[in-house]
Amino acid sequence: MAETGYALEARGIVKIFGNHVALDKVDFGLKPGEVHALLGENGAGKSTLIKILTGAYQPTLGEVLVDGFPVSLNNPQHAQTYGIGTVYQEVNLLPNRSVAENLYLGHQPTRFGFVDRRKMERDSRTVLARYGLDIDPSSELGAHSVAVQQIVAIARAVELSGKVLILDEPTASLDRNEVERLFEIIADLKKSGLAVVFITHFLDQVFAIADRVTILRNGKLIDTKALDNLTRTDVVRLMLGKDIAFSGATKLEENRPLGEVLLDFKNYGRKRSVQPFNLTIHKGEVVGVAGLLGSGRTEMARIMFGADAADEGTVAVAGIQTSIARPTDAIAHGFGFCPEDRKAEGIFGDLSVRENIVIALQGKLGWFSALNRDEQLEIAGRFGEAMDIRAASLDMPVKLLSGGNQQKVILSRWLATDPAFLILDEPTRGIDVGAHAEIVRTINRLRDEGLALVVISSELDEVVAYSSRIVVMRDRELVAELNGENINPGVIVQAIANHKDGVSA
């Protein structure tokens, strides 16, 4: 160990892309045996810093030191040889190969030039046992849950590097139990002297597991502090650089006069997807949908939008019976849908911001009245401004924007069609605190403008903050509808957990 006491250190890192300074003289030090949280809004430079620490990017200026010695990391594999392993947000393993191969790919034990599969599987079993996993190492990785894949990814990173473990939003797709399991594993690794970098959007998790925190904002280092004497508010203030009201509302919007009925779903359902449900949605109303992952929330949204056809029940739009069997039907009625999985179902990553915004409007207009470029720019510009989309240019590919800005692009896309009804599935997933607040503000504004919205969210504080009414899903069934004065996250949790008699409207 060199005099610095850091397992991994970055000094004065500057990274410039074109004429954009992504990192500006950032210092970062990681001690062995600590969990170090790296925080910042999207676009603050977290992922750029991580990519430099793992060798995926080269710093424009500054140096990276391992155990006090300057190194130049050419690529992630090279970083591995220095003991630096990374687990990314989306599990970056090979679902088509066996668990054992995923653990050892590139480092398989060989005998006479051939891979010694038996030894590899035996070793895998030993390794996985340390993480409390008892699975067949010869089974296909893709057959296991995301949580198991995540643990395999961590096991691989630790096995191959063993000094520094970088976890880039490892909990984004895990449920509560799985997160706890992961934290136990991290605690064990920490005890064994590993240095862990932990990146997340969940402040609770930071306080649950991290020892120190480094906060970045706009590519600049704000501070590195021990967490002991920090409060959540301190951290948020450091991240945002300003005071914001943090999850203020704990009761539903006061009962205000309902608008006229816009939508009326009666016994609406789809076999093996959602049990028939009844739901009336008024103009100027936000209906929050709460429930655990897999409770049928997304499925409900999909049949409302016609992405999956309902096979039971009826729907009336503004009092007139109709059928919504395809998304085009829904769009014709003025519906919009922002799906949960932005990357897979929402944005066209390679298309520009402008094209992404006008695409639904163009779909509505049909083939024969193409919007010309000026009209497109006018529309995109208007929404870009209204929604405060931060893009260098409206012609840059959407995939280069941060998660929050991508979400705003999708929202703009539907708003451009002048919708009557919007379904938002997890609109704040994976976006930072600042963008969070903005999305919530936008939802409130749209409601005040008379739109009807259905918003699905796992964040109960948030659902409570903007909903006029909350429906609760459980086991693919709409089990409760909550409205009134005293609704708080606790009551929703009860409704999710309890049986039907537990809570009633």
Residue count (the chain): 505
Taking the complex as a whole, the smallest distance from the CB of residue 455 to another protein amounts, in Å, to 21
Q: Tell whether residue 94 is a contact of another protein (CB under 8 A).
A: yes
Taking the complex as a whole, the smallest distance from the CB of residue 47 to another protein amounts, in Å, to 13
How many Cα atoms sit within 13 Å of 18 on the Cβ side? 2
CA–CA distance, 173 with 196 (Å, rounded to integer): 19
Of 97, 118, 232, 326, the residue at the interface with another protein (CB under 8 A) is 97
Q: Of the two residues 173 and 200, which places its CB atom closer to another protein in the complex?
A: 173
Taking the complex as a whole, the smallest distance from the CB of residue 54 to another protein amounts, in Å, to 9
Amino acid making up residue 371: L
* Binding segment (CB under 8 A) for another protein, from list 74-82, 184-192, 323-331, 351-359: 74-82
Q: Tell whether residue 92 is a contact of another protein (CB under 8 A).
A: yes
Strands 421-425 and 452-456, bridge-based pairing = parallel
Positions in 393-422 near another protein (CB under 8 A): none
Strands 320-322 and 285-290, bridge-based pairing = unpaired
CA–CA distance, 247 with 71 (Å, rounded to integer): 44
Q: Tell whether residue 368 is a contact of another protein (CB under 8 A).
A: no
Of 14, 65, 71, 115, the residue at the interface with another protein (CB under 8 A) is 115
Q: Tell whether residue 100 is a contact of another protein (CB under 8 A).
A: no
Q: Of the two residues 158 and 453, which places its CB atom closer to another protein in the complex?
A: 158
Positions in 129-188 near another protein (CB under 8 A): 140, 142-146, 156
**# binding residues, another protein (CB under 8 A):** 29
Q: Of the two residues 48 and 412, which places its CB atom closer to another protein in the complex?
A: 48
* Binding segment (CB under 8 A) for another protein, from list 75-83, 217-225, 356-364, 465-473: 75-83
Which ranges constitute the DSSP H helices of 192-267? 203-209, 232-240
CA–CA distance, 252 with 11 (Å, rounded to integer): 48
By three-state DSSP, how is residue 23 classified?
Answer: strand
E strand map for 353-443: 421-425
Q: Tell whether residue 51 is a contact of another protein (CB under 8 A).
A: no
* HEC letters along 252-305: CCCCCCCCCEEEEEEEEEECCCEEEEEEEEECCEEEEEECCCCCCHHHHHHHHH
Q: How far is CA 411 from the centre of its chain?
A: 16
Q: Tell whether residue 105 is a contact of another protein (CB under 8 A).
A: yes
* Binding segment (CB under 8 A) for another protein, from list 85-93, 425-433, 450-458, 467-475: 85-93
Strands 8-17 and 61-66, bridge-based pairing = antiparallel
* Binding segment (CB under 8 A) for another protein, from list 21-29, 112-120, 309-317, 427-435: 112-120
Q: Tell whether residue 106 is a contact of another protein (CB under 8 A).
A: yes
Nearest CA to 406 out of 384, 423, 375, 421 is that of 384
Nearest CA to 294 out of 476, 495, 479 is that of 476
Of 5, 68, 95, 502, the residue at the interface with another protein (CB under 8 A) is 95
Of 89, 108, 278, 280, the residue at the interface with another protein (CB under 8 A) is 108
How many Cα atoms sit within 13 Å of 259 on the Cβ side? 18
Taking the complex as a whole, the smallest distance from the CB of residue 94 to another protein amounts, in Å, to 4
CA–CA distance, 143 with 161 (Å, rounded to integer): 26
Taking the complex as a whole, the smallest distance from the CB of residue 14 to another protein amounts, in Å, to 25
CA–CA distance, 276 with 358 (Å, rounded to integer): 34
Taking the complex as a whole, the smallest distance from the CB of residue 360 to another protein amounts, in Å, to 25
Q: Tell whether residue 316 is a contact of another protein (CB under 8 A).
A: no
Q: Of the two residues 88 and 268, which places its CB atom closer to another protein in the complex?
A: 88
Which residue's entry shows tokens 């409900």?
300
List interacting residues with another protein (CB under 8 A): 76-77, 80, 86, 88, 92-97, 101-102, 105-106, 108, 110, 113-115, 117, 140, 142-146, 156, 294
